[in-house]
Structure 1
Amino acid sequence: MTDTVYEISHLTLVPRRHPGRAVGAAVVLGLLAALVYSFAVGQIEWSYVAEFLTVPVILHGLGNTILMAILAMLLGLALGVVFAVMRLSENPVLKYTAIAYVWFFRAVPALLQLLLWFNLALIFPYIGLPGVFSVRTVEVMTPFVAALLGLGIQQGAFTAEVVRAGLLSVDKGQYEAAQSIGMPRLQMLRRIIMPQAMRVIVPPVGNEFIGMVKLTSLASVIQFTDILHSAQNIYYANSRVIELLIVAASWYLVTVTALSLIQMRIERYYAKGVRPVGGNA
């Protein structure tokens, strides 16, 4: 029995064709071209967009937007860590208080919470300590304070679940090892558990922060001077609605892009020493 040898050197290698990809790319490019053309020939005065992009009122609103997002996120992180630890506590009062907090503030819409805080004076005309001091609620609950409380407390409910997931992702042996050497619970969380949990916590919290930047636009309803409210004040005066909305959208795009780049660097930092999924063993 002899082996048959086939000569294949004369054959030409033909790459596999993907007509579906070409058609899909053509359709997408066509739609993008149509969209760009529509905005280019539409009744949009781009000179107004360029003019108002850097006016002081818009930049002031942008600064307020970034400041509110940072402060509300810091408040949400602080509340999230506290209530996540309470949720994992063996004390039933702490545990069910945390469950109730997360349930309530995740269920009520953010806009409704802003309106409730802003109109708190209708329920409590004065706030303070009886016999010590008392102030009118309407003087305390400014648009800034109402926005900070409404956005920050709601964010704490979502962040609590993210932090809880991060704490649960740490191997149980790490808890047992820390307890075996007599390490107090708070010290254990700070030095052993949280550094390991950050790898799981950072990506969703980064996404929540980016979402918070956009969520601050809801505060314009209670007259907080964010970038959207500033744009609205201008187009109420000059009727250039679309142009000013494009200005606001442009700054949101710039801000979110910058934050996304920062988030990527932070994620890389906490992912050090972790083998990527699908990497070589």
Structure 2
Amino acid sequence: MKEQGGLKRYDLHTHTQASDGMQPSADNVRWAKEKGLAGVAITDHDTVAGLEEALEEGRRIGMTVIPGVEISTRAGGKDIHILGYYMDYRNNVFLERLEKLRQARDNRNDLMLSRLRSLGVAITLEEVMATIGRPLTPDESIGRPHMADTLVQKGYAKDMRDAFDRYLAEGAPGYVSVPRVAPAEAISWIREAGGAPVVAHPGLYGDDELVRSIIEQAKPAGLEVRHSDHDDAAENRYAAMAAHYGLIATGGSDFHGARQGVIFHGDLGNRSVDDQVIQALRQAAGQK
């Protein structure tokens, strides 16, 4: 995969155990190299806890590691995710803002677990933590995939997709929304930290008018055109949208690892971009 039409390939959307992925960030870097990629971005939810380890592994094995993040926001009654690339991940103001988002995530988790128990689905935070199998650091947090894993293990769902569809997806009985920042605010945070903001997986929101509104109001640098949950028609539609607004057309697998033998979203490297996209993101972030 490394060379496709003479161009190096990069997966710009992967998660690690710093948020709701299954593996240490160094594994993502090694696996990306094994798959023939030239580089990989680490984009955990509301945290940059996995970046140092990934960057060190990249230096060790000669892989490009792109520092990233995926920020949780809310607009139009939907959870909207904003990716950031090449920001100063040591910036204290940026780190304090992410910490507040993780606090909101922890509050949502407590409310969702309480909602599930009110529905007769008896899972506890302690059981979810046991499923993770290790203590979390202060800059890590529990995500819905961790809950889904517990639901499957306790027999409330047959697999991860069933757990989300039946209990955890937006609109499902166990889902709870908490106040979050607007996309424009997250985009400004990423820019203030010297990064390039990108609207993640627009096809998952089911509302292209909302996506256009966010683009017009918040002025991101890019739009995630290629994603594991976008079919060819969606990728063509979002490529046209990116071109219309003059945005960088990015892409990535949204790899989280395998739970219950199933890879959620997509396998590492199954969506990628070339050097030109990397250069455009670096330029948008003010880097050479």
The TM-score, its normalising length taken from structure 1, stands at 0.26
Return the structure number with greater helix share. Answer: 1
Name which structure has the greater RCO, CA cutoff 8 Å, separation 6+: 1
More strand by share: 2
Bigger Cα Rg:
1
